[in-house]
Amino acid sequence: MKFLLLYKGDYASTLRGPEMRYFSLAKELVLMGHEVSLCGRTALPKCLPKNVSFVSVNRLKEVVKAFLYSDVILLHGGGPLVIFLAIVAGFFQKRIVLDSYVPHWIELDELSKTSAPLQNIKILVKSYFNALRGLFAGVAFDCIIAANRRQEDLYRGIVAPFSLTKDFFRISLIPFGCSEPGEYSRERGRRLLSELADGEISNNNFLIGWLGGTYGWFDLEGVLQEVSKALTINESIRVVFFGVSQERKMQLLEHVAPDVRSHIIFLPWIDFSKRFEYWSGFDISLVWGGEGYENDYASRTRNFDCLTLGLPIVQNWDDEWGARLESTGAGRVADRSNLSDVLYELSISPEKVSEMRKSMLDIAPSFYWVRFAEKLIDVVSIPPMSFVRRFCGVLAFFFILPASLVFFIYNLLLTLKKS
């Protein structure tokens, strides 16, 4: 089969999020004998997987050719032009798949709670567009792939009013992937972290890594209040963040006891291409989502990086990773009331951390990128949507737009009133 993987990112030496996923997926699909093109803003030829071609989204003629040439088109998002091309390609019996990891409008809606009033207008527009794109995919695309059961059920709820349960088979669950273990040394990782921290990290420290951003929906303020208690009991604990602005540092440190603030280490952001070399030096990874609906539907993609390293995870409950960690022993699930106790217990229990590390490596093979590629092949093996069915989906969507516009205007007026 001929695959087109489209995300408006940059395929350079540093790969993040969707770019990294599509890079890894493209490499596996080629090894399986398929023809693959990556579509994005820019790419360095030396950074592309072997035998994978690149199409720039800025060259419309090439993009149109790629859509019509491919058998399967996998979209991570996409604006109006991309959606239009997907419609046209669909009528030419191409299989169109929406990659919805995570439903982006949910993240944006959570972000609006911590944004400036006028910024909320822009977020509102983006949120509605993203939600409508998900709805359109449900009624007119061949498949939607989701990361976990919550996301799968969300899209089932979206399509149910239009096709009852008849289109549930078009929504498939394919968890995020991880790389196979490389030659990552814990000793070298600690040395690199210590050098980056200018000596603030020593060999006897128990290192807790926060591997993602510091967005408002993570409830970091509440987490740091509990972490502060563990730091007070065991002064060898260090918590490490990457790429935090000076303003955000000050906000976060307000929630840490003054006498242990120096144990919160803020390091520069590191290239994703080098992340495993540094992260291998941690003892555990701390992952936390706020008690809101973003946490309900999120897939904690940094956790899959931890699988590559065998890095144990401490996190609050979610339906995907919470159950996975509890059943395998690869990490610990905590809540705010016992987080400090869990961190302290692990900081003085190297044997428990070693057992968790082994469990992480044991479950990793089920999530290697080759498994992701195999599941995607199964998903797109179904016959493409018929011309009549796709036409009905497109027509129904345009009938829905006026009703959506009513609610958009209502919410826009509320946003303007608040600002």
pLDDT of residue 14: 67
Count CB neighbours of 401 within 10 A.
Answer: 12
Maximum Cα interatomic distance, the chain, rounded to a whole number of Å:
68
Give the strand order in the sheet containing 237-242.
Answer: 264-267, 237-242, 206-209, 284-287, 313-315, 331-333
Cβ 332 vs Cβ 388: under 8 Å: no
Mean pLDDT by 10 residues, the chain (419 residues): 94 76 94 96 88 95 97 94 96 96 81 78 92 95 95 95 95 93 91 94 95 82 93 96 94 95 94 89 93 82 93 94 95 94 97 97 96 96 94 96 96 87
pLDDT of residue 295: 80
Cβ 73 vs Cβ 67: under 8 Å: yes
Q: How far apart are the first and last CA of the chain?
A: 51
- Give the Cα-Cα-Cα angle 15, 21, 23 (nearest 5 degrees): 65
Distance CA 325, CA 48 (A): 34
pLDDT of residue 271: 82
Sign of CA pseudo-dihedral 166, 379, 24, 48: negative
CA 92 remoteness from chain centre? 31
Give the strand order in the sheet containing 72-75.
Answer: 53-56, 35-40, 2-6, 72-75, 95-99, 143-146, 171-173
242: β partners? 267
pLDDT of residue 13: 64
pLDDT of residue 215: 78
3-class DSSP assignment, residue 266: strand
Distance CA 116, CA 114 (A): 7
pLDDT of residue 19: 86
- Give the Cα-Cα-Cα angle 324, 298, 9 (nearest 5 degrees): 120
pTM of the model: 0.90
Tell me the two tokens of residue 8: 């408006």
